[in-house]
Structure 1
């Protein structure tokens, strides 16, 4: 099983050590990390319409200091050779597809084809306001972005004309090493249908402390995704997943290890990532936690 970790790009003290992103990536690879990941937050609203975690009225301090995800992943690409490089997740509706394609394709090219793009539709109205993108359009913009990316990644010349995004006919010589395996997040029925219709994989999330029943968290939703895929005329077996393990404040490393061991019995879980932003107090501490997890699992 491949086990990956979030880069110290978003979070508390660790994310303030921006000059250590490269060191973390290199040492995590040496420890045996199979993938490295970035998140995508734009703001930490003082008076949020939607708080985090869901149901909260505030935004946690860990979101107050955020490094650019494309820069951080590019750094990891330059200093590593083997780990996959993933986005968990890029809020695609914020970005014109031509700009998004340029950033992601560059990372893929620099890394020799190791990009795993994970996309979501976003959840913070204030972030959409700052990006000058209507919050109500986020689902449609995500769908159009996927269409435009497919053109930019596969056609030359490439061209796309949608309701929300446009790519005029362009020579598109910058291509990924191979077509990236797109993963999508979300648990709502519409999100699961989008995975079945559009994606190569799903990004379920396991929050700790909390329920860790693989049948409820993974097996049942994946069964629905594959049923939807059959309805769409796609091969259900071609859709995989990357499990996101999110220990929250108060979770212990023993709980993380136990949850990973339990979920590893699910046949679909062949790749997972652990987000350390709420646990790690420094880059060195994040590396210690990563080593403990890799040795125990």
Structure 2
């Protein structure tokens, strides 16, 4: 199993922003194959929609959020070889041209190790703070993908869409990866799964330990993605899957290893990452948990 980790960009550990480099370097030394960031902006005091379906609660960990792309750039400077990715960024928050420039810079700085993962998120308050209408999130994500394709593969670059216009312009800094870095998408809704199958290089689902929903929800989603790809005339066997496993508070590392063993038996993930946002409060604890998880996985 290829096992990676989320960088400590959320929760109490994220208060130690100067610990991101240390975590990245130590995780690589311990044997991690990838490092990832998610994307949060704020935690509303009185949210319209909660993080979990049917709830209006937002995890307290979201009250501390470091910038995800800054964290990924830090990780790029202190590591080599490990894959670097966003699992996932809320694409519609970001101005596409500015985001394309930043992602290109990270791919070049890392020697071509970037995987760009996007989703639409669930928080109307975060969209309000970012100045983007929540109801436009799906169509804005589609246009972001169009801009990235043009920015990364053409020169001059030009785009005219519903929300954004890029006049014909010289953009000579291009990603190391050709024709472009891989683009993965998250989400479980029918629309999100359809978009993955028709447009993305792969899917980024999540799972939890202890198990909150069965792994079959991931395998069922994967079947939908593959079917949508085939109907769009694409080869479903060329799609990738990167699974994020969120570790709940108080979960033993032995239970985490057992959960990984269970989910890896049924979910064909090319890469699995553990997220200790809810299970660790310091960077040192994140490093310790990462090392112990790698040891147990290696031991079988």
Distance 1:212 1:136 in 2: 27
CA deviations over 1:98-125 (Å, ceiling 9, x no partner): 0010111111110000001110012100
Number of matched pairs: 295
Q: 2:151 matched to which residue of 1?
A: 152
Distance 1:114 1:27 in 2: 18
Q: Does 1:256 align with 2:256?
A: yes
CA deviations over 1:14-58 (Å, ceiling 9, x no partner): 111111111110011000011111111111111111122333323
| Bigger Cα displacement from structure 2, 127-136 vs 43-52 | 43-52
Matches within 5 A, 1:1-297: 1-12=1-12, 14-178=13-177, 179-211=180-212, 213-214=214-215, 216-266=216-266, 268-297=268-297
**Residue pair 2:218, 2:267 contacting (<8 A) in 1 also:** no
SS at match of 1:117: strand
CA deviations over 1:157-179 (Å, ceiling 9, x no partner): 01111101222211111111111
Under a length normalisation based on structure 1, what TM-score does the superposition of the two structures give?
A: 0.96
Under a length normalisation based on structure 2, what TM-score does the superposition of the two structures give?
A: 0.95
CA RMSD, Structure 1 to Structure 2 (Å): 1.3
| Structure 2: tracts of 5 or more residues without a match | none
Distance 1:5 1:84 in 2: 10
Shift of the alpha carbon at 1:265?
Answer: 1.9
Distance 1:68 1:93 in 2: 16
Shift of the alpha carbon at 1:193?
Answer: 0.5
CA deviations over 1:239-295 (Å, ceiling 9, x no partner): 110011012234332221111111222362231111110011211111110011111
Distance 1:191 1:111 in 2: 29
Shift of the alpha carbon at 1:212?
Answer: 6.6
